[in-house]
Structure 1
Amino acid sequence: MENVRSAVLSREQQNNSLFTILPWEDSSREEALELLGKFGLEDRSEMKAEIIPHGDKKILDVAMSVAMRPKLLILDEPTSGVATDNKHEIMQRLNDYFQTTDSAVLFIEHDMELIAEYAERVLAMDQGQKLTEGTPEEVLENADVKRRIRGEE
């Protein structure tokens, strides 16, 4: 909770006082707890971040970023380093949250299964060059994508 709360206070430029309890501190705590709830982390709100599972740490990172109320959020491989069994759970939590906000989200992802299931639009690149863009189905079936990215003939 303190990690997300710190982001809320930073957004409000109210994180300069370490020793004075000010009126906005109660509202920052409420907002932090609300965000943790939206990301399914409410049961871990009083735990130290260093002891929560790796997948939950990834979600916590996103919750902290969201607390800043960005117009555009860029997530570079949000499930990297996470056990295969947990990737879909993490992506579903992210997807559920971002369906309720007007923030634009750009995922950089190499996992074709996640792209197929969670992306609305895809831009495929190879060595800095755009190959194609479109729906996940269009891009994943593209001959250049199959050959140059997926290694299929």
Structure 2
Amino acid sequence: MQPWLKKRIENFPAVLKSQVDSYLDEGTFISFAGPEKAGQDSSERDGKGLEENVGESAKSLLMHDLLGGPDWTGTGILDPGNKEYLWVTLPEGMDAEVLLKASLLKGTAFWPGSIPFPEEGKDDQAVGRSPDSGMIRLYYAGQSEDRILAGLARISEAISEFTARFEN
């Protein structure tokens, strides 16, 4: 887990921290926040060779399919085309940092758009854009399809809890 994410969890009140810790202890915590170390690609992280990582294209399609579904109404997708991560625009008025806290309590993390990402390359569409609290970055490279499904379901549940408050 990235140091910045550990620090966020450590700063939670004890009752909330224990909720996140239960996912960590069970091994069911899912992080879309990025590789463990700067510059580490998915094949280094999961120990697979190039031929075993061919499935990243299928995962990209799965991500697009899920994020385009009804559970993600009000969001948008920005794809840099690298088959490692996607940017997602949140429904109007939703803050990525607040959503991160809610998602952590559900055992899932992502990179909030309000925090500049240190490894962004010059070809990334996100370069040149100011930090944006209305966006999240979902780093899916190296994740299994089951973890993608579970993680996105948890985040969409957190989004639904926020948007449901404003529908009536």
TM-score range, shorter chain: under 0.3
Query: Normalising by structure 1, what TM-score?
Result: 0.25
- Say which one has the larger Rg: 1
Q: Which has the higher contact order (CA 8 A, sep 6+)?
A: 2
